[in-house]
Amino acid sequence: MESGTFRTMNPEVVAALEGFIERGEMWNRPAMERLVDFLESETERTGDRLPLMIAKVFAAVLLRMGMAPIDKHLAYDVEAHVYQRLYKVLEAVYDDLPDSEVRTRIEVFHRRLSRMIVDEDPRPVR
């Protein structure tokens, strides 16, 4: 594949996502809001749509967090999914895969997370 047929996500975005994982900020609302703001501003600044796509995933989690307390079992599932799928996205960036592959991984990340939240089990918390 010739260079120029894809582009690499800005290293600052990669570092912000890695830091998010390392600091375990999944349920830290202000930290997640800062991450979403950063990703959205990165898209505005550079025109790269990938950060905005990731921002939408985290915005969905923020929306759900604002609706009602999240059952601990769902929280564990969501957190495991987010970290696993985010790693898959970063893996594609590290491996210099085409933007189309990175987009596909982000879309899968978002679609599966949405299903988890929509299919939430209404059982009482134990």
CB 60 within 8 A of CB 113: yes
Measured distance CA(104)–CA(110) in Å, rounded: 10
Measured distance CA(76)–CA(63) in Å, rounded: 17
Quote the percentage of the chain above a pLDDT of 90: 65
Give the pLDDT mean for 108-119.
Answer: 85
Give the pLDDT mean for 33-49.
Answer: 95
Flag whether pLDDT at 6 surpasses 80. no
Flag whether pLDDT at 4 surpasses 90. no
Top pLDDT among 115 and 126 is at 115
CB 101 within 8 A of CB 107: no
- The helix (H) or strand (E) run that includes residue 29 is helix 29-46
Q: How much is the pTM?
A: 0.83
pLDDT band of residue 118 (cuts 50, 70, 90) is confident
- Per residue in 72-113, pLDDT (tens digit) is 998 999 999 999 999 999 999 999 999 899 999 999 999 998
